[in-house]
Structure 1
Amino acid sequence: MKTIKSILGISLIALLSFTSCQDEIDNQIGENPNTNDANSVAASNYKRTAMHDGSFDDFLDGNSCSSILLPVIATVNGTQVSVISQSDYQQVLNILGQFNTDDDQVTLQFPFTVRLSNYTEVLVTSQGEYDAIISACEAAEAEGKDAISCLDIEFPITILTYNLNFEQTGSLVIQSEQQLFAYMDNLGNDELFSISYPISIMFSNGTSASVDSDASLQSSINDCLEEQDAEEEAEERADALEQILVDGTFKVQSFVNSGVESANNYAEFTIDFANDLTVKADNVVNALVADVEGTYAVTSQTEVFLSLNFSGSTSFNLLNHTWEVTSFSSTSISLKSTTNAAVTLVLTQI
């Protein structure tokens, strides 16, 4: 009986030891820098930053998860364009930019080939096939599995490999995004990895940073995704402002320069913004006074900006600024000069 109890005791100790060891592995995976597995946050971050970024030609295909391999024939707002190389993108952009409030239409001629986020190249022969690619992209975006395009890793980087006993089994020098994606995509369940830090990253705004841990990379991703969201929101506000400008007729309600209010200099004028990016100030009191003509542009970063460029009038030349849009509604637009915050302009709709 004592022998049986001894055997049972030894077995229990062994089982507890194994369970404890397994718990240690489970608890450390994704936290210890040497124990990132295929399902860890770090693996997901590196895989997503290494995906093929198809957003550079979204004006052409409207799909950030894939890009079109040239050549392709597109009908842009009724005009057929043969896009042979990336230098031909400007033809498409010029057509799309002719009017800022029209409903742009780009129709692609089948067949054409796309490169997906996993670097696979697919021949698309019908709208149905392309709709399926777009739907898959939308699903990936909704699940947070699409490409992270707001930062790039600067190569080469070194990956250290481990087995499940946390023993280093080797190292691998990664030279490109595609090579990094392939490694993360094919990472086995019996493999662990870590990144040899520090590494350098480049943000989409052109600034660079050094990353010294998985947590540091996660923080950088969070920051740049937050800025990317702000840029997308600003772009939507810019579109709304353009529509308000084109649909309305405005007057200068207030123009303050160096502490002096000079709106009276513009009291006789109305300002009309056209959808071809021209602007005209019309004297509605004295028909003998010539119209003042100019151009305008609405742009955005994380804020919205309105640039005015009048010519032929001393008074209206004073309005030639790149203005930050501090607030706007369907009846009023408040602006602040980007070079001198003390210079402000308020346009109200008549």
Structure 2
Amino acid sequence: MKTFKPILLIVLGVMLITTSCRTEDDLSIDPPTEETITANSTIANLMSRTVFNDGSNDNIIDNASCISIQFPVTVTVNGITLQIDNDDDLDEIEDIFDEFDDDDDNIVISYPITIVFADFTTIEINSDDELQDFADDCFEDNFDDDDIECIDFQYPITASVYDENNDLINSIIINNDNDMYDFIDDLDEYAAVTINFPITVILADGTTQIINNIQELATAIEDADDTCDEDDDNDYDDDDCDNCSTDLVTDILTQCDNWYIDDLERNDNDLEDNYAGYFFTFNNDNTLQVSWDNGTQTESGTWSASGSGNTIIFDINIPGFDDINDSWNLHEIENYGDELEFKLRIGDEDELEFKNNCSSDSSNDNLVNTLSDGLWIVASYTEDNDDQTSNYSGYELDFNTDGTVSASNGSNTNSGTWTVFNSGNEMTLDFGTDMPFQEFNDDDWDVISSSETEVILQDVSGGNGGTDTLTLQKL
């Protein structure tokens, strides 16, 4: 046995030297095997499908859901030239198209343009024929394609990269879907990669979910798949109610009496003239009354709304009103300051539009008196589908008739100014740089609805192309 002692000592020495090369800090950063993301794995595939470039937003221009046009782009719409800088500007095209129902709409694109594919690669296009060639390669309307649009990542997200010795060699900051797609595409270049949890995902209804590990992320994506209308068709004007809710429907319809039918088309027949002089009053208890012949004739019925966003179904049932009775899809709610429009559709042909001019009867003083009477809280605030209501928990807002407003939670006070204009249909807020209320700074909040206990404001012209909705509730 003595002859083996030198060999044993050498072996032990080598083991000690080898072990000493890894410090305690090195061992502490070894990535857990179950939390690593590998190329072509299930989670990598799900994440990649979640961040595919969605080409459906600009279908009013390219008529193709699998490609998008890189902004800015110049188009001529019914003879009017527009520069489109972001998704929000696409509404200008639709407004021109919707101005008249009996004209032929056309759009002319100024080439060259650049189109973007699902994997964020690009190519220059120089003619309508070239664009149509790529559009023809897209799936047909509402085909069950690979992208998952009912859930989004909230950025930034940080990933950790390890070498073959499990040593941390780099941290990658992922700031958008393009970054995430490239990151997943490059996974085979790394020995091991983990996401730094927790992260936040945004669901189709605007709510958020905290994700703590890979398994939770996979489950969240799989559960979200096909839970919303991904708008993968070429009907550019079927997504005008992204932020609609049944509460908003109730607020809009019940705040005004005497709605009238401005447009009714069934089976290619224009029927609105048949209902000239008919007035509809919608009540909070889901009943409605119709009056005509200067109020000498009346009928009662029911209405109801269910669903959310672009999938709200609006049911009408009035004895004897077969042209109207049906389950309609809520298409759009418009507040033009001097009038309200409530638009319903069935398919691509049948249309029903109620209109009301009661907004013009309101005044600046009405909303000023409402808001300055008591204290208010932020019942809800979403910024481009990102629910940020929790940032304002505990704050009470005090609107003063001198145009000042304060928001206090007992330990912190934000001071600002407010103004109501355009017959009480628009409002400004300015809290300067005071956080978090600087998010409300805007000179053009639309007053979607107002009552003695609730005021709903909306801004649909943000520079990022998103929609902000602020709901104030009286204490």
TM class by shorter-chain length? Answer: 0.5 to 0.7
**C-alpha spacing 1:260/1:70, structure 2 compared with 1 (3 Å):** closer
TM-superposed CA distance for 1:104, in Å, is 4.8
- Name the % identity: 22
Query: Secondary structure of 1:200's partner?
Result: strand
Unaligned runs of 5+ in 2: 1-32, 241-262, 300-320, 325-331, 333-338, 346-350, 359-449, 451-475
Query: Secondary structure of 1:89's partner?
Result: helix
Separation (CA, whole Å) in 2 of partners of 1:211 and 1:42: 13
Q: Is the 8 A contact 1:38 1:192 kept in 2?
A: no
TM-superposed CA distance for 1:237, in Å, is 12
> Which of 240, 244, 267 is matched with 2:266 structurally?
244
TM-superposed CA distance for 1:200, in Å, is 0.8
**C-alpha spacing 1:248/1:84, structure 2 compared with 1 (3 Å):** closer
Alignment map for 1:274-285 (pairs within 5 Å): none
State yes or no: 1:297 paired with 2:327: no
Unaligned runs of 5+ in 1: 1-31, 278-293, 313-338, 340-350
In the other structure, the counterpart of 2:198 is: 198
Separation (CA, whole Å) in 1 of partners of 2:158 and 2:184: 13
TM-superposed CA distance for 1:113, in Å, is 1.5
Query: Secondary structure of 1:44's partner?
Result: helix
The aligned amino acid for 2:356 is F
TM-superposed CA distance for 1:108, in Å, is 2.4
**C-alpha spacing 1:35/1:122, structure 2 compared with 1 (3 Å):** same
TM-superposed CA distance for 1:228, in Å, is 2.0
Query: Secondary structure of 1:119's partner?
Result: coil
Q: Is the 8 A contact 2:157 2:173 kept in 1?
A: yes
**C-alpha spacing 1:306/1:244, structure 2 compared with 1 (3 Å):** closer
Q: Is the 8 A contact 2:166 2:192 kept in 1?
A: no
Q: Is the 8 A contact 1:111 1:123 kept in 2?
A: yes
TM-superposed CA distance for 1:189, in Å, is 7.5
Q: Is the 8 A contact 1:101 1:242 kept in 2?
A: no
In the other structure, the counterpart of 1:173 is: 172
Q: Deviations over 1:239-290 (max 9, x none)?
A: xx975397353668998856988556574899999xxx9xxxxxxxxxxxxx
In the other structure, the counterpart of 2:183 is: 183
The aligned amino acid for 1:173 is I
In the other structure, the counterpart of 1:112 is: 113
Query: Secondary structure of 1:201's partner?
Result: strand
The aligned amino acid for 1:72 is V
Q: How many residues align?
A: 255
State yes or no: 1:81 paired with 2:103: no
**C-alpha spacing 1:143/1:184, structure 2 compared with 1 (3 Å):** farther
Query: Secondary structure of 1:158's partner?
Result: strand
Alignment map for 1:1-350 (pairs within 5 Å): 33-76=34-77, 78-86=78-86, 88-99=89-100, 104-138=105-139, 144-146=145-147, 148-161=148-161, 167=166, 170-177=169-176, 178-188=178-188, 191-229=191-229, 243-244=265-266, 247-249=269-271, 262-263=289-290, 267=297, 296-298=341-343, 308-311=354-357
**C-alpha spacing 1:131/1:38, structure 2 compared with 1 (3 Å):** farther
Separation (CA, whole Å) in 1 of partners of 2:121 and 2:135: 15
Q: Is the 8 A contact 1:34 1:166 kept in 2?
A: no
Query: Secondary structure of 1:206's partner?
Result: coil
Separation (CA, whole Å) in 1 of partners of 2:224 and 2:352: 25
Q: Deviations over 1:119-149 (max 9, x none)?
A: 323210233432343244429x857433x33
Separation (CA, whole Å) in 1 of partners of 2:239 and 2:58: 22
Separation (CA, whole Å) in 1 of partners of 2:213 and 2:264: 43
TM-superposed CA distance for 1:110, in Å, is 2.9
Q: Relative CO higher for 1 or 2, CA cutoff 8 Å, sep ≥ 6?
A: 1
Separation (CA, whole Å) in 2 of partners of 1:212 and 1:104: 50
**C-alpha spacing 1:63/1:179, structure 2 compared with 1 (3 Å):** same
Separation (CA, whole Å) in 2 of partners of 1:53 and 1:133: 15
The aligned amino acid for 2:194 is S
Q: Is the 8 A contact 1:37 1:192 kept in 2?
A: yes
Q: Is the 8 A contact 1:100 1:242 kept in 2?
A: no
State the TM-score, normalized to the length of structure 2: 0.42
**C-alpha spacing 1:206/1:93, structure 2 compared with 1 (3 Å):** same
Greater helix proportion: 1
**C-alpha spacing 1:60/1:195, structure 2 compared with 1 (3 Å):** same
Q: Deviations over 1:61-90 (max 9, x none)?
A: 2334333233433243x3342325337534
Q: Is the 8 A contact 1:68 1:112 kept in 2?
A: yes
Separation (CA, whole Å) in 2 of partners of 1:215 and 1:242: 51
Query: Secondary structure of 2:187's partner?
Result: coil
Query: Secondary structure of 2:57's partner?
Result: helix
